[in-house]
C-alpha cells in the first residue's frame, strides 16, 4: 500500500525485521527480485524501480520503465520477468527494464488473467493469481500452465481476519526451500509440494 511499503530483511526464526527501508509514501511497492548482488523493486503504478545493494540496502539507482502497472517480478538468470495483472508475462532487460519479448499464459480453458507474484524455481515459473488460493506452475518458454498447487487452508479462519490475498512466493536456491505468504498475513510458510493422487 502507499505509505506502508517497505523493503525488509527478516529473521526467519523470529519473524522480526532486522533491516528495513521505507518507500516514500507516494510509492506502492510491488515485486522484488534478486539479480546478482542487487535487489530490484518495482512499484505498482508509478513506473519506477529501485535498485538496492543486496548487503546493506544502499540505493544504487532508480529506473523508469514503460508498463501500465507492475505486479510480480522474478529473475530467470537472463531476464527479469514481470506481470501487470493481465495474462501477459513480460521478459525485460535486467539493466534497463526494457521489454525484450512477451508471452501469454494459458491453461486448458484459455488465457489466465490477473497474474500476480512470480518466482522462478528450477526452470519453472510459479505464479499467484489475484484472489485465488492456488499457485500456478508455468512453462516459461511457452506460457502453458503445467500444474496448480492448492494452497487453501494455510491460515485458520481466525488468522484470516484482517488479511488479504495470497501473494508471496520465495525460493532459496541454496537450501531448496520454498516459502509462501500473503498480504498482511501473520505467518510465512515453508511448503513442500505433494503430487495429487
Question: How many whole angstroms separate alpha carbon 23 and alpha carbon 167?
Answer: 19
> Which residues on adjacent β-strands are paired with residue 59?
52
Query: Residue 1 burial by CB count (10 A; 0-12/13-18/19+): exposed, middle or buried?
Result: exposed
**Total-model pTM:** 0.94
Average of per-residue pLDDT across 114-139: 97
Question: How many whole angstroms separate alpha carbon 124 and alpha carbon 189?
Answer: 20
Question: How many whole angstroms separate alpha carbon 65 and alpha carbon 42?
Answer: 9
pLDDT band at 7 (very low <50, low <70, confident <90, very high): very high
pLDDT digits (tens, 9 = 90+) for 41-69: 999 999 999 999 999 999 999 999 999 99
Locate 156 and state its grid cell: 485458520
Q: Which residues contact 128 (CB under 8 A, 6 or more apart)?
A: 72, 115, 116, 117, 118, 135, 136, 165, 166, 167, 168, 169
For every residue of 124-158, DSSP letters joined together read: EEEEEETT-SEEEEE-TTT-BEEEEEE-TTSS-HH
Q: What is the pLDDT of residue 89?
A: 98
What does each C-alpha distance from 30 to 4, 110, 153, 173 come to in angstroms? 11, 26, 25, 22
Dihedrals phi, psi of 162, to nearest 5 degrees: 85, 5
Q: What is the pLDDT of residue 12?
A: 87
Query: Residue 149 burial by CB count (10 A; 0-12/13-18/19+): exposed, middle or buried?
Result: middle
Q: What is the pLDDT of residue 15?
A: 85
Average of per-residue pLDDT across 69-82: 98
Nearest-CA neighbor of 80 among 25, 136, 20, 30?
A: 30
The average confidence (pLDDT) of the chain is 96
Which stretch of 7-21, 73-87, 100-114 has the lowest confidence by average pLDDT?
Answer: 7-21
Angle, CA of 1, 133 and 72, to the nearest 5°: 45
Average of per-residue pLDDT across 165-188: 95
pLDDT band at 194 (very low <50, low <70, confident <90, very high): confident
Q: What structural domains and CATH numbers belong to the chain? A: 6-158 (2.40.128.630)
User: Does residue 196 surpass a pLDDT of 90?
Assistant: no
Amino acid at each position: 500500500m502507499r505509505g506502508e511499503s517497505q523493503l525488509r530483511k527478516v529473521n526467519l526464526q523470529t519473524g522480526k525485521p532486522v533491516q528495513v527501508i521505507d518507500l516514500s509514501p507516494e510509492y506502492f511497492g510491488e515485486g522484488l527480485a534478486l539479480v546478482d548482488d542487487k535487489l530490484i523493486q518495482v512499484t505498482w503504478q508509478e513506473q519506477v524501480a529501485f535498485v538496492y545493494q543486496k548487503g546493506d540496502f544502499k540505493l544504487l539507482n532508480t529506473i523508469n520503465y514503460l508498463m501500465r502497472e507492475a505486479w510480480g517480478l522474478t529473475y530467470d538468470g537472463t531476464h527479469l520477468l514481470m506481470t501487470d495483472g493481465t495474462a501477459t508475462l513480460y521478459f525485460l532487460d535486467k539493466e534497463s527494464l526494457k521489454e525484450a519479448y512477451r508471452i501469454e499464459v494459458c491453461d486448458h480453458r484459455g488465457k489466465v488473467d490477473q497474474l500476480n507474484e512470480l518466482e522462478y524455481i528450477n526452470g519453472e515459473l510459479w505464479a499467484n493469481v489475484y484472489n485465488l488460493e492456488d499457485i500456478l506452475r508455468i512453462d516459461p518458454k511457452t506460457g502453458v500452465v503445467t500444474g496448480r498447487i492448492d494452497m487453501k487452508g494455510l491460515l485458520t479462519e481466525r488468522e484470516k481476519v484482517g488479511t488479504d490475498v495470497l501473494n508471496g512466493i520465495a525460493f532459496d536456491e541454496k537450501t531448496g526451500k520454498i516459502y509462501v505468504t500473503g498480504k498482511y498475513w501473520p505467518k510465512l510458510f515453508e511448503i513442500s509440494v505433494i503430487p495429487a493422487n
